[in-house]
Structure 1
Amino acid sequence: MEDIKNFSIFIFEDDKIQATALKNYINEYSQDMHPVIAASTKEAISILSKEPYFRAYFLDISTNPDAENTDGLKIAEYIRHKTKNNAPIIFTTAFPKHIYHAVNDIHCTAYLLKPYTKEQLFRQLDNILGTERDFTIKTIDNIRIKLNFDDVFYFESHGRYIIAHTLHGEFMTRQYRLKQILELFPAYFEQCHKSYIVNTRYIELIDPYAHLISLKKTKDKVPCNRNYRYIK
């Protein structure tokens, strides 16, 4: 997996709501990523002429309701031919008609049609970073189960065992310790309590007074200590 420390990402998007949503998604994926937004072709060229080496680019093809407006493609051509940067380009657009040019001439990494989901965006970031999405857990019954990182709500330490609470049920294992999970799993798995690691992508609500975390897609509540950064 590529080191994402100070990973700068360029966003070309004139719609403030769309740009803010994309920026927030990227920051949710990792706070080590630093999105830079340009809302016009002039602003984009100005930024890229000074900083040509972004690690990835998210470009809206059309910054105008007119489908014939292709500013995003022009920016992509500038990136490829002027800055000579071959970093991943992901087009975000409501117009599927330009996909041939985007894929065959610019060699983009992906073509996301609006409205895309957070999960679709995260998959593209995973691809950019070369992140392995699956892992195998060996239960105490010696059964090997393959899971996706995003299948896991949280991990609970219970004596010598770890319980993985997932979309597919609970699995008990002696394969990992909490410290190993923090080292091996993506950065969005955080230790919120001495006995718990939570997948922060599932956090729905934190009660700072009861020191409890409510999670999406499950009725479970996970304890957290007062020093947990989300409470801070």
Structure 2
Amino acid sequence: MINCVIVEDERLARQKLQLYVEKHNDLNLVVSYASAESFLKECFHTDYDLLLLDIGLPNIDGITLAGKLPKHCRVIFTTAYTEYAVEAFNINAIDYLLKPFNFERFSIAINKINIQLNQADIPIPVDDKIFIKEGKRIHRLSVEDIFYIKGLKEYVVWHTDHGKLITLHSLSYLIDYLDPFDFIQTHKSYIVNKLKVSALEYGFVHINNEQIPIGRSYREQVRQHFKVDL
């Protein structure tokens, strides 16, 4: 469960956020504030995982307020203005919700939080083993049993010698994590086990009679690794 705090000065917008939080199964509303000042008086004594923060606050705007918080604080900005997006992401905002947004768009932002919170689900491999958490079950696999990994929005599908596993991770996290263990990214949606590649051709690598695409921006690193002209 993700404990969240709302800071929103507009009453109707605050009520809408409260309804979205109550509707979402992964969220628990700790407290809701109508001003930055009231939040700052109590924030360092409040236990929360996520701040839903309006940018257009009077006296202290949301960008300035976020800059006063510890770096580990997760923030999703809500605003009617597009021009603050760059500043928001420069301070590592999880997402930037442009008003008016619906519950589906809100849920997409919350899924990004879930991805971050679940990055610790896979510990560092030991003796060529890797632990993959799928739901409440933890699978222990040999690295050599993993063929490739396919990204599907907020999820990834692990294609293994024992079947498919689905976990809540991002490919960008996994490639850094798996790089020392003979894995290479060939496409924005694919990471492959280099030792499982049986053939290469222009635009594809072959694993278990399946064609895995090679994206244009990944072609050079694939060519250099396998020392082939693609």
TM-score of the pair, normalised by structure 1:
0.47
- Greater per-residue helix proportion: 2
Question: Highest relative contact order (Cα 8 Å, sep 6+), 1 or 2?
Answer: 1
